[in-house]
Amino acid sequence: MTVAIVCTALLGVLLFALGLNVSMARGAGKAGDYPTDPADPFFKRIRAHGNTAEYAPMMAVLILIAGERNPAMWVLWVMGIAVACRYLNAAGILMSPTLAKPHPVRFIGALGTYLSGFALCIAVLLTI
């Protein structure tokens, strides 16, 4: 259960750090109306936070459920990979010159999120 709790806490840190990043930009006057330019730094901050807010909660739920049921070693690895991929996805969004074009770090993070998410779903179903 310790791995599950640490992974869930790391997802929370990511979500709140990205939210703070958006709030700090607003507070510094770097934000006007909601930007639509995919190269706008504020737009990228908003999308990194929004994307994390879309996936992190379900990841946390799956991780906690799987973690409470004496998970196999492969499940523990998937938990860590899932969290790492969420961090990679956020970093890829923030580092990308524009969100209109693919970025390799963002791609790896997104693909890893989907694969680890499905794997966590399977892990939870196998414990029924």
pLDDT tens per residue across span 8-29: 999 999 999 999 999 998 877 7
Report the run of H or E that residue 111 belongs to, with start and end.
Answer: helix 104-126
Q: What is the CATH number of domain 2-27+36-126?
A: 1.20.120.550
* pTM score over 0.75: yes
What per-residue confidence (pLDDT) applies to 111?
98
pLDDT for the residue 28: 74
| Domain spans of the chain, in order of start | 2-27+36-126
**What does the alpha-carbon distance between residue 4 and residue 60 come to, in Å, rounded to a whole number?**
8
Residue 31 has pLDDT above 70, yes or no: no
Rg (CA), the chain: 16
Task: Let me know: does 113 contact 55? Beta carbons within 8 Å.
Answer: yes
The most distant pair of C-alpha atoms in the chain lies apart, rounded to whole Å, by 51
pLDDT digits (tens, 9 = 90+) for 48-105: 999 999 999 999 999 999 999 899 999 999 999 999 999 999 999 999 999 999 999 9
